[in-house]
Amino acid sequence: MERNIQEVLLTEAQIKDRIAELGEILSAEYRDKNPIIIGVMKGVVVFYADMIRKIAVPCEMDFMWISSYEGTDSTGSVIVKRDVSAEIKGRHVLILEDIFDTGNSLSFVYDHLMAKEPASLKICTLLDKPSRRKPGVTLKADYVGFTIPNAFVVGYGLDYNEYYRNLPYVGILKPEAYT
Ligand code: 5GP
Ligand code: MG
């Protein structure tokens, strides 16, 4: 597995430190708001488990599972495989994501949850690749772990064909590992 990694982009220690910083910020933001924290499956699960333990205020956990399908026109449509189970109307909701890339998935999730009329809706993404954003996507993440260059990364929950999610760091995959 590790021999297919070209470069470690973010070490375990870097990720841990950044999550602790975000934890301070999110704990202050959500004090007395009893938020529902929604993870977008599956890529977020590792980040989610670490992040939630640094949010030191009462909160609820929930998950949504989506799938993206790239059409031939590459508009990229998204479907809900599993919706949230909590009633979010009137609640403060925080979305946790692994990576904000073209913005297709997050825009979809944001609109989908917004339609349920939460009291507030914010986004925290571990990774942001702004250079990949599709024109027309105006959505912004409220909290970003790391802004990264335009490279395909794996590990810490992120996969290539379902593998590498269990690497403890974020790494760039060697091009030859794609074939
Ligand atoms: P979007 O393009 O809609 O912003 O991101 C869609 C999904 O593509 C992300 O949630 C993530 O699962 C996947 N993705 C985007 N960039 C990368 C990447 O660099 N590595 C991996 N493993 N997945 C990515
Ligand atoms: Mg994802």
3-state helix, strand, coil split of the chain in percent (to 5) is 25, 35, 40
pLDDT for residue 175 = 85
- Check pocket membership of 43 for ligand 1, CB cut-off 6 A: yes
Catalytic one of 50, 98, 101, 128: 101
pLDDT of 178: 78
Q: In what order do the strands lie in the sheet with 77-82?
A: 77-82, 60-69, 36-41, 92-100, 120-128, 143-147
pLDDT of residue 2: 83
Name 55's Cβ contacts closer than 8 Å, sequence gap at least 6. Answer: 23, 26, 27, 30, 37
Q: Which residues of 15-49 are buried (b: 16+ CB within 10 A; e: fewer)?
A: beebbeebbeebeebbeebebbbbbbbbbbbbbbe
Q: What pLDDT is recorded for position 74?
A: 47
Is 101 a known active-site residue?
yes
Ligand 1 in contact with 68 (CB < 6 A)? yes
Atom 23 (ligand 1) nearest CA:
158
Q: Phi and psi of 75, rounded to 5°?
A: -75, -25
Pick the atom of ligand 1 nearest to 108's CA. 3
Atom of ligand 1 nearest to the CA of 68: 6
Q: What is the number of the ligand closest to the CA of 106?
A: 1
pTM as predicted: 0.95
Q: Among the residues of 30-174, which ranges form H helices?
A: 45-52, 104-114
pLDDT beneath 50: ranges in the chain: 74
Q: Which atom of ligand 1 is nearest to 102's Cα?
A: 2
Ligand 1 lined by 100 (C-beta under 6 Å)? yes
